[in-house]
């Protein structure tokens, strides 16, 4: 019984409830509580990473084998009905393997820094903002540590409630109301049909006479023993739900509107962690539990969509002038690499994609934090004019922006390179055509990244243009000239060091989850070879 | 067992319904003894009648505890049968009755207090009777016991043009639906030769085509009570033309009665091959059309009452899918009862909040009237928010389990037919459409409004009503086992 897992969910949730109940008329008095809770959550997530890292490797024939578990018998919720003569029960199972631990760490880091930065960024109802932020962090932690279908789904859906309030209540872009509505409807359009898929997954054992189960461990064991398990439509329902969340290509339209409308500080959490929910769902549910249908039905299609997203996102990012939208489309483009890696279904691809989930989370959150700081000083950042020369005015900010832009563009030695390279290497063994398209995207990616640096940072002394106007809030003139305060650059520097560490020593960080991705690829790799013998094999065996 | 003994036992087990019926009748007579006109003390009269009705309800609840658990096999021959369905119908009545009496406390029409509460109690007594009926006659009488007081209620709470329109429309259409129902019952009797439901159910599989026709006619009659398309046309006009409280009554009690009657007729015991090959496609089609029409028309509404009326139509569509799962014996009847209980908590909670806003001097007729309500009436807004989130079906609310159970019932055991899958996906997309218009209401509540005058009048009864609903909505998510 590991009590770290429930406390990861309960600590931020409790803090959120306390702040909402007590902080109503107290202005900023509850802000320290929020910061403290987020720091505790970060420490807890670091503790979990160490526990998982040091735990003996779990046994079990299934593809999902968490190293730490929390399975209280007392927390069994029985529904008042029986379906197909079987009572329906939800036994809460929390657990973490390497993949979960990595994403828990990402949530901890991004959540903590987002809340710390919010104390400077958010000027109205700061404590309430933090409370909702903590509630979303709690639900996100819940998704990453749940080891049964129902908890996974409940947390997956519950994230929505605080997020729409955050987008709507603190959005300072264009029309946050309609953006939050679009976000809600798009996400629900994926996740409500997904319930049907999840129920079918849970009921599938009943077809062969076994009791239905919702535990990931049991289900993955069944799926490994009997690969043709469940119907093919299940995988489509699941991919619809997760695809919308990760903004896969034709279903991505909610993402730019949401990112353009929400406060960039909120967006940093959405882009780095919430968008990962879809990818995490694919690697946690779709690949281990429905691998057969995935390989025969959807693997190449989704992989190709990922590759197209890389190119499409980059091309659109090149044409946009609002920096928020540029970053939104660059996020679509980068998530394409992760999709690509996941859909290769082999050991390089899966581990590369998992690592890249973490990397992309760090990089994109930092970009949005920097954007928030810029907007606080200058109003909306537009790239329609060249030579804004902000580097002269904000040297510290400029250094960090250049660093994260290069990390995102995949500079060797930084973390973005490792993940994207591994993902493409994995896909190379499945389909060279898809990788060829993706490589095109990396060139375009470097182009729009350097365009940001060149237009915003360099080429002038920074005094010429005051673009737009300050939206919603008025900034005193003196603070618009200030470079980053220590509280602002310190989180960014910490994240930058992490990026550098992963970039230089990727093996060290991949040790955390390598065993878990290998366990999956051991099942899927032969199946892929059997299913697609004729795909172009550029790499000889 | 001789007939007298059966009647005596039935009476003992029907005692809660009988208590409600007697209480209602006495309250209706009470108007003779109370002073009317300008001199009377309206507040004490309001309190008195509400307390009397509440006492009757409490007596009924106590009787249901005192009576003990009925034994099933003893009463199969009589007019009534006390199985788990009958008990569930009773619990749904008590739940709804408690909230509705609280909601009526300060909103009942001042000039017709005794008639109002009398009718309400009689309506409440009708549902256990429908739920326990084991005979076509008792089933029909139970349903009429529900509709006749409804006409009176609609007529007395609002006497302007819209109120008269609502009452007349409901009366005409309800009479029309009762005719369908009776015609169906006469066919059932003609085919089987008995009015006992168990005998009729034993004969469903006799292969006669007339049986399916009879069942279809009966379902037409009941479709009116549950506001299924194409018998839904009265709902928006009635909701719009009457008071908030009575709109709450209309959204809940007839729906419960209709579904309980449907379970009684086709839900238990299996339909058999020939009848179900007709009934299940009809039910599926009706469910599909009902939820699509309800949701699409609700999307187009600016009038909150009409929106809620169409949303109630849409929920009927979901409930019909649950009924299909029940008829196929993929799920037990609790899938319906739990949904209805969750529906009571969220919809009645919503109406109670709207009622409180109106009682406090606000307006809640159009969605726009609620703009910025969070800053004017925070407590009611939080109640509305929880209800709306539950109506959308998001987790942490009872509405989530309600939808989840319908999904589980409809895709149970990986049913091979693509129809069920299609229906489940259709319901999922309907839930998304519904989320669109619920979110429109929800976001309006928090919009900034220029006129920020807080609404300060406090109505404890309405406050309790929606607090109970809100708490139930949230608690039932964590302890769904008691939601039946």
Q: Which stretch of DSSP H or E encloses residue A24? A: none
What does the pLDDT read at residue A476?
Answer: 45
Among residues of chain B, what percentage have pLDDT more than 70? 94
Residue B45 Cα, gap to closest chain A Cα (Å) = 38
Q: Do A185 and B404 touch (CB under 8 A)?
A: no
Given CB atoms, is A228 within the 8 Å cutoff of chain B?
no
Q: Cβ of B202: how many Cβ atoms within 10 Å?
A: 14
Delimit the domains of chain A by residue range: 4-531
**CB proximity A139 to B under 8 Å:** no
- Residues 171-200 in A contacting B (C-alpha not used; CB under 8 Å): 177, 180-181, 184-185, 188-189, 192-193, 195-196, 199-200
Q: What does the DSSP assignment read for A407-427? A: HHHT-TTSHHHHHHHHHHHHH
Q: What DSSP assignment string belongs to B118-159?
A: HHHHHHHHHHHHHHHB-BHHHHHHHHHHHHHHHHHHHHHH--
B199 at the A interface (CB within 8 A)? no
d(CA B20, CA B5): 23
Q: Among B409, B304, B189, B470, which residue's Cα sits nearest to residue A82?
A: B409
The C-alpha atoms of residue A523 and residue A520 are separated, in whole angstroms, by: 6
A250-262 as b/e: b if 16+ CB within 10 A: ebbebbbbbbbbb
**Residue B38 binned pLDDT confidence (cut-offs 50, 70, 90):** low
Asked whether the beta carbons of B377 and B360 are under 8 A apart, the reply is yes
B368 touches A: beta carbon within 8 Å: no
pLDDT of residue B408: 87
Smallest Cα distance from A79 to chain B, Å: 5
- Sign of CA pseudo-dihedral B416, B420, B425, B428: negative
Angle of CA points B437, B356, A16, to nearest 5°: 65
Q: Does B443 touch chain A (CB under 8 A)?
A: yes
CA–CA separation, A301 and A295 (whole Å): 10
Which of A10, A167, A192, A210 is most worth mutating to test chain B (most B CB atoms within 10 A of its CB)? A192
Partner residue facing B331 (CB), from A83, A185, A237: A83
- What letter would DSSP give residue A89? E
B244-262 and B113-132 are packed helices; what angle lies between their axes, rounded to 10 degrees? Answer: 20
**Cβ B435–A184 below 8 Å, yes or no?**
yes
CA A227 – CA B126 distance, rounded (Å): 54
Give the 3-state secondary structure percentages of chain A, helix then strand then coil, rounded to 5. Answer: 70, 5, 25
Which of the 8 DSSP states describes residue B74? G
Q: Is A154 on the interface with B (CB under 8 A)?
A: yes
Q: How far apart are CA A442 and CA A434, in angstroms?
A: 13
Does the structure's ipTM exceed the value 0.95? no
Give residues with Cβ within 8 angstroms of B450, minimum separation 6.
Answer: none
Residues 6+ apart with CB under 8 A from A1: A69, A70, A71, A72
Q: How far is C-alpha A62 from the geometric centre of its chain's CA atoms?
A: 25
Instruction: Report CA B226 to chain centroid distance, whole Å.
Output: 8
- With contact defined as beta carbons under 8 Å apart, do B20 and B120 qualify? no
CA torsion angle A521 A525 A531 A533 (round to 10): 150
Mutate to test the interface with A, among B414, B433, B480 (most CBs of A within 10 A): B414
**B414 and A193: CB-CB below 8 Å?**
no
Phi and psi at A68, nearest 5°, equal -120, 145
Which sequence spans correspond to the domains of chain B? Answer: 281-484
Compute the distance between CA of residue A470 and CA of residue A119 in angstroms, rounded to an integer.
19
pLDDT digits (tens, 9 = 90+) for A318-335: 998 888 899 999 999 999
Is A196–B389 a contact, with Cβ atoms under 8 angstroms apart?
no
Distance CA A311, CA A332 (A): 10
Contact A231/B at CB under 8 A: yes
Given a cut of 90, whether residue B171 has pLDDT beyond it is: yes
CB contact under 8 A, A161 and B439: no
CA-to-CA distance for A430 and B423, rounded, in angstroms? 37
Helix H or strand E encompassing B303: none
Closest CA to B142 of B163, B159, B118, B124: B124
Task: Give how far Cα B25 sits from Cα of A86, A530, B157, B398, Å.
Answer: 45, 77, 19, 35
Residues of A in contact with B409 (CB under 8 A): 81, 83
- Residues pairing with A91 in the sheet: A76
3-class DSSP assignment, residue A94: strand
With CB atoms and an 8 Å threshold, state whether B414 touches A200.
yes
Q: Which of residues 392-411 of B touch A (CB under 8 A)?
A: 392-396, 400-401, 403-405, 407-409, 411
In whole angstroms, what is the distance from residue B343 CA to residue B251 CA?
10
Please report the pLDDT score of residue B65 as a whole number. 87
Distances, alpha carbon B400 to alpha carbons A227, A516, B276, in Å: 31, 32, 29
* DSSP conformation letters of B48-66: HHHHHHHHHHHHHHHHHHH
Cβ of B411 within 8 Å of Cβ of A200? The answer is yes
At residue A489, the pLDDT reads 86
Which pLDDT belongs to residue B428?
Answer: 92
A250 to chain B nearest CA, in Å? 18
Q: H helices within A430-485, ranges in order?
A: 432-452
Rg, Å, chain B Cα set: 22
Q: At what angle are helices B460-478 and B349-359 packed, to 10 degrees?
A: 160
**Quick check: helix, strand or coil at residue A396?**
helix
CA dist., res. A390 & res. A456, Å (int): 6
Residues of A in contact with B424 (CB under 8 A): 196
Interface touch B330/A83, C-beta < 8 Å: yes
Task: State the CB neighbour count (10 A cutoff) for residue B4.
Answer: 8
Nearest to A79 among B405, B436, B447 (CB): B405
| CB neighbour burial string for B216-254, b if at least 16 within 10 angstroms, e if fewer | ebbbbbbbbbbbbbebbebbbbbbbbbbbbbbbbbbbbb
As a whole number, mean pLDDT of residues B335-359 equals 92
Using CB atoms, pick whichever of B334, B395, B481 lies closest to residue A157: B395
What spatial distance separates the first Cα and last Cα of chain A, rounded to whole Å? Answer: 44
* CA distances in angstroms from B422 to A60, A271, B393, B416, B419, listed in the order given: 37, 33, 20, 11, 5
B480 phi and psi, to 5 degrees?
Answer: -65, -15
The tokens describing A490, both together, are: 């310190």
- Residues B466 and B380: beta-carbon distance below 8 Å: yes
**Which tokens belong to A4?**
């770290």
Residues A138 and A10: beta-carbon distance below 8 Å: yes
- List for chain B the helix, strand, coil content (%; round to 5): 80, 0, 20
Chain A residues lying within 8 Å of B394, measured CB to CB: 157-158, 160-161
Chain A contact present for B482, CB below 8 A: yes
pLDDT digits (tens, 9 = 90+) for A152-174: 999 999 998 899 889 888 888 77
The answer to whether B437 contacts chain A (CB < 8 Å) is no
Check: CB of residue B223 under 8 Å from CB of residue B257: no
How distant is the Cα of B479 from the closest Cα of chain A, in angstroms? 7
User: Under an 8 A CB cutoff, do A153 and B401 touch?
Assistant: no
Q: What's the Cα-to-Cα distance from B165 to each of B50, B161, B169, B310, rounded to whole Å?
A: 28, 6, 6, 18
Choice between A455 and B271, residue whose per-residue pLDDT is larger: A455
Average pLDDT estimate for B254-276: 83
| Cβ contacts of A169 on chain B, cutoff 8 Å | 446
- Asked if residues A94 and A145 have their Cβ atoms less than 8 Å apart, the reply is yes
Per-residue pLDDT of chain A (541 residues; tens, 9 = 90+): 788 889 999 999 999 999 888 877 777 788 888 899 999 999 999 999 998 888 887 666 678 888 888 888 877 888 877 777 777 888 888 988 889 999 999 999 999 999 999 888 888 888 888 999 999 999 999 999 999 898 999 999 999 889 988 988 888 877 888 888 889 899 999 888 898 888 888 887 777 777 778 888 888 888 877 766 567 788 888 999 999 988 888 888 899 999 989 999 999 999 999 989 999 999 999 988 888 888 888 888 899 999 999 999 999 999 988 888 999 999 999 999 999 999 988 888 999 999 999 999 999 999 999 999 888 887 777 777 766 777 778 888 889 999 999 988 888 888 888 888 999 888 888 888 888 888 888 888 888 888 888 888 887 665 554 444 444 444 444 556 677 788 888 889 999 999 999 989 888 888 888 888 888 888 888 888 888 776 655 554 4
E strand or H helix at A53, and its extent? helix A31-54
pLDDT (tens digit per residue) in B13-27: 888 999 999 999 999
Peptide bond into A249 cis (omega under 30): no
How far apart are the C-alpha atoms of A457 and A453, rounded to whole Å? 5
Binary contact (B412, A203; C-beta < 8 A): yes
CB-based contact (8 Å) between B332 and chain A? yes
pLDDT 10s digits, B358-416: 888 888 888 888 888 888 888 889 999 999 999 998 888 999 999 998 988 888 765 55
| C-beta atoms of B432 and A192 within 8 A | yes
CA distance B43 to B36: 13
* Local structure of A167: helix, strand or coil: helix
């Amino acid at each position: 019984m590991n009590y770290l897992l429930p406390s990861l969910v309960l600590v931020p949730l409790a803090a959120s409830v306390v702040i909402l109940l007590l902080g109503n008329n107290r202005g900023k008095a509850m802000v320290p509580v929020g910061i403290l809770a987020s720091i505790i959550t970060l420490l807890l997530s670091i503790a979990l990473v160490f526990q998982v890292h040091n735990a003996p490797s779990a046994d079990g024939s299934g593809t999902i084998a968490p190293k730490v578990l929390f399975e209280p018998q007392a927390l069994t919720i029985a529904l008042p009905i029986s379906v197909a003569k079987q009572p329906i029960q939800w036994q809460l199972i929390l657990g973490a393997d390497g993949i979960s631990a990595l994403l828990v760490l990402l949530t901890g880091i991004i959540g903590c820094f987002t809340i710390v930065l919010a104390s400077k960024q958010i000027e109205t109802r700061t404590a309430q903002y933090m409370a909702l932020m903590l509630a979303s962090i709690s639900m996100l932690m819940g998704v990453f540590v749940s080891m049964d279908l129902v908890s996974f789904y409940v947390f997956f859906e519950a994230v929505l409630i605080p997020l729409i309030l955050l987008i709507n209540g603190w959005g300072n872009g264009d029309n946050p109301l309609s953006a939050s509505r679009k976000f809600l409807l798009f996400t629900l359009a994926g996740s409500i049909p997904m319930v049907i898929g999840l129920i079918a997954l849970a009921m599938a054992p009943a077809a062969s006479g076994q009791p239905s189960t919702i535990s990931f461990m049991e289900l993955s064991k069944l799926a490994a023993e009997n690969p043709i398990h469940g119907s093919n439509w299940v995988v489509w329902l699941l991919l619809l739900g997760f695809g919308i969340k990760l903004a896969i290509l034709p279903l991505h339209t909610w993402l730019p509107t949401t990112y353009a409308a929400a406060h960039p500080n909120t967006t940093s959490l959405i882009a780095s962690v919430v968008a990962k929910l879809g990818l995490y769902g694919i690697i946690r549910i779709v690949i281990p539990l429905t691998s057969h249908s995935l390989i025969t039905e959807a693997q190449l299609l989704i992989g190709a969509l990922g590759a197209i997203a890389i190119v499409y996102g980059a091309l659109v990012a090149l044409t946009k002038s609002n920096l928020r939208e540029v970053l939104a489309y660059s996020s679509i483009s980068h998530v394409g690499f992760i999709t690509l890696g996941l859909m290769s279904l082999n050991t390089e691809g899966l581990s590369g994609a998992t690592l890249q989930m973490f990397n992309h989370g760090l990089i994109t959150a930092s970009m949005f934090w920097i954007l928030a700081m810029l907007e606080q000083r200058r109003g909306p950042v537009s790239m329609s004019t060249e030579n804004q020369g902000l580097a002269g005015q904000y040297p510290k900010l400029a250094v960090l922006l250049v660093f994260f832009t290069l990390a995102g563009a995949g500079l060797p030695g930084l973390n973005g390179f490792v993940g994207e390279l591994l993902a493409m290497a994995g896909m190379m063994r499945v389909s060279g055509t898809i990788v060829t398209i993706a490589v095109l995207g990396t060139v375009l990616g470097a182009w729009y990244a350097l365009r940001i640096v060149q237009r915003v940072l360099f080429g002038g002394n920074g005094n010429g243009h005051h673009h737009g106007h300050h939206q919603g809030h008025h900034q005193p003139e003196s603070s618009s000239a200030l470079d980053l305060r220590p509280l602002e650059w310190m989180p960014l520097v910490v994240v930058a060091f992490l990026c550098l560490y992963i970039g230089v020593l990727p093996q060290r960080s991949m040790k955390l989850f390598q065993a878990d991705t290998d366990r999956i690829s051991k099942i899927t790799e032969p199946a892929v070879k059997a299913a697609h013998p004729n795909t172009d094999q550029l790499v000889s065996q | 067992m001789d007939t007298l003994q059966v009647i005596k036992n039935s009476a003992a087990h029907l005692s809660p319904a009988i208590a409600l019926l007697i209480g209602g009748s006495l309250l209706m007579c009470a108007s003779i003894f109370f002073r009317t006109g300008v001199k009377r003390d309206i507040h004490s009269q309001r309190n008195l009648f509400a307390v009397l009705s509440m006492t009757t309800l409490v007596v009924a609840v106590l009787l249901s505890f005192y009576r003990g658990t009925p034994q099933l096999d003893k009463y199969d021959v009589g007019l009534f049968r006390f199985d788990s369905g009958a008990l569930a119908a009773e619990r749904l009545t008590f739940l709804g009755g408690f909230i509705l009496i609280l909601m009526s406390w300060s909103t009942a029409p001042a000039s017709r207090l005794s008639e109002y509460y009398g009718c309400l109690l009689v309506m409440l007594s009708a549902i256990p009777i429908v739920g326990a009926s084991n005979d076509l006659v008792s089933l029909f009488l139970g349903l009429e016991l529900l509709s006749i007081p409804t006409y009176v209620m609609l007529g007395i709470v609002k006497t302007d043009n819209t109120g008269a329109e609502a009452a007349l429309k409901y009366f005409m259409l309800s009479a029309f639906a009762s005719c369908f129902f009776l015609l169906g019952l006469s066919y059932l009797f003609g085919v089987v030769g008995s009015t006992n439901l168990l005998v009729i159910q034993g004969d469903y599989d006799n292969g006669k085509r007339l049986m399916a026709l009879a069942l279809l006619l009966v379902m037409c009659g009941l479709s009116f009570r549950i506001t299924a398309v194409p018998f839904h046309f009265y709902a928006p006009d009635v909701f719009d033309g009457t008071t908030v409280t009575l709109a709450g009554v209309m959204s809940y009690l007839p729906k419960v009665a209709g579904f309980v009657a449907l379970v009684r007729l086709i839900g238990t015991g299996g339909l058999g091959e020939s009848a179900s090959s007709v009934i299940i496609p009809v039910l599926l089609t009706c469910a599909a059309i009902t939820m699509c029409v309800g949701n699409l028309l609700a999307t187009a509404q600016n009038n909150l009452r009409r929106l809620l009326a169409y949303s109630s139509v849409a929920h009927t569509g979901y409930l019909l899918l649950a009924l299909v799962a029940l008829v196929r014996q993929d799920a037990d009847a609790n899938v319906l009862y739990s949904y209805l209980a969750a529906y009571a908590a969220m919809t009645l909670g919503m109406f109670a909040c709207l009622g409180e806003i109106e009682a406090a001097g606000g307006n809640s007729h159009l969605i726009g009237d609620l703009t910025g309500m969070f800053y004017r009436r925070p407590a009611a807004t939080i109640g509305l928010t929880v209800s709306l989130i539950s109506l959308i079906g998001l987790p942490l609310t009872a509405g989530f389990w309600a939808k989840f159970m319908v999904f589980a019932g409809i895709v149970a055991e990986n049913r091979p037919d693509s129809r069920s899958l299609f229906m489940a996906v259709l319901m999922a997309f309907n839930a998304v459409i519904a989320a669109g218009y619920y979110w429109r209401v929800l976001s309006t509540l928090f919009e900034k409004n220029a006129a920020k005058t807080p609404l300060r009048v406090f109505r404890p009864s309405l406050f309790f009503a929606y607090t109970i609903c809100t708490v139930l909505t949230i608690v039932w998510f964590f302890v769904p086992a008691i939601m039946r």
